């Protein structure tokens, strides 16, 4: 199950494979976004529409929201029951 959207209609092995593939592609995505950011500076100066940035976070395959946590229903229940940790003040 994914948090916060509660979707996850794949087995844990498929999730692990997808997560690994995402982690391996992340440097390429970040490099592409850096190139797009530079190109967008020029496009904005020319009053052209900027290129969209590719999402860098792991997204739910169904609803495309960012996955904060993923696991079995029991793991999600334990994760949700863990108290929040405040920021040092």
| Predicted confidence (pLDDT) per residue in 7-57, tens digit | 777 777 888 898 899 899 999 999 999 999 999 999 999 999 999 999 888
Going from the C-alpha of 42 to that of each of 33, 35, 54, 72, the distances in angstroms are 14, 11, 18, 46
Q: How far is CA 65 from the centre of its chain?
A: 8
The predicted pLDDT at position 42 comes to: 92
Dump strand ranges (E) for 1-89: 2-3, 69-70
> For residues 30 and 36, what is the distance between their CA atoms, to the nearest angstrom?
10
> For residues 37 and 24, what is the distance between their CA atoms, to the nearest angstrom?
21
Q: Has residue 88 got a pLDDT over 80? A: no
The predicted pLDDT at position 31 comes to: 96
Domain boundaries, the chain: 2-81
CB-CB contact of 80 with 16 (8 Å)? no
């Amino acid at each position: 199950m994914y948090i916060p959207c509660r979707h996850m209609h794949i087995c844990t092995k498929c999730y692990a494979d997808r997560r690994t593939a995402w982690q391996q592609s992340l440097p390429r995505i970040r490099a592409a976004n850096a190139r797009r950011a530079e190109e967008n500076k020029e496009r904005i100066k020319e009053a052209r529409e900027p290129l969209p940035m590719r999402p860098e976070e792991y997204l739910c395959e169904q609803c495309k929201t960012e996955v904060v946590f993923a696991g079995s229903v029991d793991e999600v229940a334990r994760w949700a029951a863990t108290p929040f940790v405040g920021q040092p003040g």
